[in-house]
Amino acid sequence: MSAVNRGLRQASRTLRLPQRFSQRSATAVTPLSARSCQLPAPRAARSGASSHNTFSTMASLQSAATAAPTPAGHKGYDPEIKDIADYVHNKPIDSDLAFDTARWVFIDTLGCGLEGLRFKECTKLLGPIVEGTVVPSGTKVPGTPFQLDPVNGAFNIGAMIRWLDYNDCWLAAEWGHPSDNLGAILAVADWINRTNKAGGNLAGGRTFTVRDVLEAMIKAHEIQGCLALLNSFNKVGLDHVVLVKVASTAVISKMLGLNETQTADAITQAWVDGQSLRTYRHSPNTMSRKSWAAGDACQRAVNLALKVMKGEPGVPTVLSAPVWGFYDVLFKGKKFEFQRPYGSYVMENVLFKVSYPAEFHSQTAVEASQKIYNQLKAMGKSAADIKGVTCRTHEACIRIIDKQFKPMDNFADRDHCIQYMCSVMLTFGRLTTGDYTDGSEAATSPLVESLRQKIKCVEDPQFTADYHDPALRTISNGLTVELNDGTVLDEVVVEAPLGHRLRREEAKPEILAKYKRHLEPHYGADKVKQLVELSQEPKKLEAMSVDEYVDLYVVKDSKFL
């Protein structure tokens, strides 16, 4: 017998199931399945050898086999799945603050999507899968002439929203951008309305209003944000868009008219679906996929919910199943932890990106840099006079965007580098989306590049603790600048960025100005005025049919496509 064959035979022996497992399994399946599943017991098991010689998954499999069987037809769902489905179907939202905040998030998110359309890297991915396709009664994509099926519509809207990393943010053990879910929510609501008005009967013939969309946003924010509070997906290498997919799947399932059990089924499908790796957000692979990852999550959510609507069942213990469940395969065997029940906490406390199109952990650092820029200007000095900068910061900032010496290869690298963002502000007194582009003044500036490598980050444990404190949730950064002549400037500390709950009222005029600024490249002055005024009339806005509101954003001949 060849050495290869001997090795294969030995491996086969090792992988066979112990006889006691085969016998127990046989009692729980049909005779045909039992005959097909029974395997000879390995020699070690027959001779009484210790269990450590068997394949490593056997202990878990045996434990699963000996557990008390669940009665046929009454499979129990993981409680985490049941809680989400129950929240979506049975929890009323009665928080005026949550609805008011959701309205601001809604217009801000749409504005961010329109701004994303100004970048070719974004628009090249948009439109129908087959050029020229128009879906009757389909989802319309704001700022474009596209009318698509709801799956691709969710991708289009989700991708343009997230492209510039300028929409809202949630920071906890896991970070993310809960308004990413609007890609799926708006696509489904618009499609259902148009289909039903054309004689269809989706979701019982329902017509969604903007208020319905705001409620769905509140619930999607809550699901994504509460799962993120104590559970770090990035620490096991998974991207936060898994939470967009789960949250979107949950809320659109109810929108589609699925019952609570079907919604649970759809949520399980979202967890069992393949999860994105974070590698596209980090050196050496930082690239543009991070900008369309949320769109991908939105389209997967819609696709899965539609499959369940057609009768596809769920995977009840997708999280907890021994060996093959999410916890054992992808979460190092840990179960999710929860800080609070689902309500409206996340929407009420969400963070707006107001001042700068910058990754959120850097917002306060960029604000501090702007103050230092003005201080240097008043002293008759500039960024060229800086010898070094120490950034006192929190752990998440260091883990995500500390890239002191890593070369800046592309847009995605620059908008996820705290040193680059601070250097641009210290050099030019500004930070715009154009400053991340290849060939731009900032990207080609020798002074920016030199200064970038002079900025070092140091963790302050108190800043990290405050970042996780549910009563604070600050994102603190402090900059200390040393000049070439030996002068050390007083540290400039900013703890809460302008879009933080603690500065919400201060931020609202800036959020509105940002929205108006993002409308102007796409629409005439009259349309901009109409949309801005409508955004400030809550009752009128919330009563509008979603399709009629989306029609206000349609551009038949966009100069950006």
Sequential DSSP letters for 222-263: HHHHHHHHH--SGGGTB-THHHHHHHHHHHHHHHTT--HHHH
Length of the chain: 561
Q: What rounded mean pLDDT belongs to the chain?
A: 88
CA distances (Å), origin 75, targets 70, 85, 159, 313, 316? 6, 16, 37, 12, 7
What's residue 13's pLDDT?
38
The Cα 223–Cα 228 span in angstroms is 9
The Cα 348–Cα 105 span in angstroms is 11
What's residue 75's pLDDT?
62
CA distances (Å), origin 334, targets 67, 230, 341? 20, 12, 20
Q: Is residue 239 within 8 Å of residue 281, measured between CB atoms?
A: yes
Q: At CA 177, angle to CA 232 and CA 194, rounded to 5?
A: 130
DSSP 3-state of 124: coil
Instruction: Give pTM, 2 decimals.
Output: 0.79
CA distances (Å), origin 314, targets 267, 415, 436, 510? 8, 39, 43, 44
Using 50, 70 and 90 to split pLDDT, how confident is the model at 478?
very high
DSSP 3-state of 103: helix
Q: Higher confidence at residue 80 or residue 69?
A: 80
Using 50, 70 and 90 to split pLDDT, how confident is the model at 355?
confident
**Cis before 538 (ω within 30):** no
The Cα 430–Cα 385 span in angstroms is 18
Q: In sequence order, what DSSP letters do the residues of 486-515 get, joined into one string?
A: S-BPPPEEE-S-TTSGGGHHHHHHHHHHHH
Taking 60 as the threshold, does the pLDDT of residue 315 lie above it? yes
Q: How many CB atoms lie within 10 A of CB 488?
A: 12
Q: Is residue 233 within 8 Å of residue 239, measured between CB atoms?
A: yes
Using 50, 70 and 90 to split pLDDT, how confident is the model at 248?
very high
pLDDT tens sequence across 406-442:
999 999 899 999 999 999 999 999 999 999 999 999 9
Q: How many CB atoms lie within 10 A of CB 105?
A: 23
Hey, which residues does 493 pair with through a beta bridge? 478
Using 50, 70 and 90 to split pLDDT, how confident is the model at 282?
confident
Nearest to 145 by CA among 122, 117, 167: 117
Q: Is residue 424 within 8 Å of residue 440, measured between CB atoms?
A: no
Using 50, 70 and 90 to split pLDDT, how confident is the model at 334?
very high
Q: Is residue 360 within 8 Å of residue 497, measured between CB atoms?
A: yes
The Cα 183–Cα 222 span in angstroms is 16
Nearest to 266 by CA among 203, 218, 311, 226: 311
Nearest to 89 by CA among 259, 223, 306, 316: 259
SS (H, E, C) 277-301: EHHHHCCCCCCCHHHHHHHHHHHHH
Helices (H), 410-502: 411-414, 418-428, 446-452, 461-468
Hey, which residues does 455 pair with through a beta bridge? 389
What's residue 39's pLDDT?
31
Taking 50 as the threshold, does the pLDDT of residue 547 lie above it? yes
Taking 50 as the threshold, does the pLDDT of residue 452 lie above it? yes
What's residue 247's pLDDT?
98
The Cα 174–Cα 230 span in angstroms is 7
pLDDT tens sequence across 127-184:
999 999 999 999 999 999 999 999 999 999 999 999 998 999 998 899 899 999 999 9
Exposure b/e, 335-365, CB count within 10 A at least 16 = b = ebeeeeebbbbbbbbbbbbbbbbbbbbbbbb
Tokens 């499999």 found at: 61
What's residue 57's pLDDT?
35
What's residue 8's pLDDT?
33
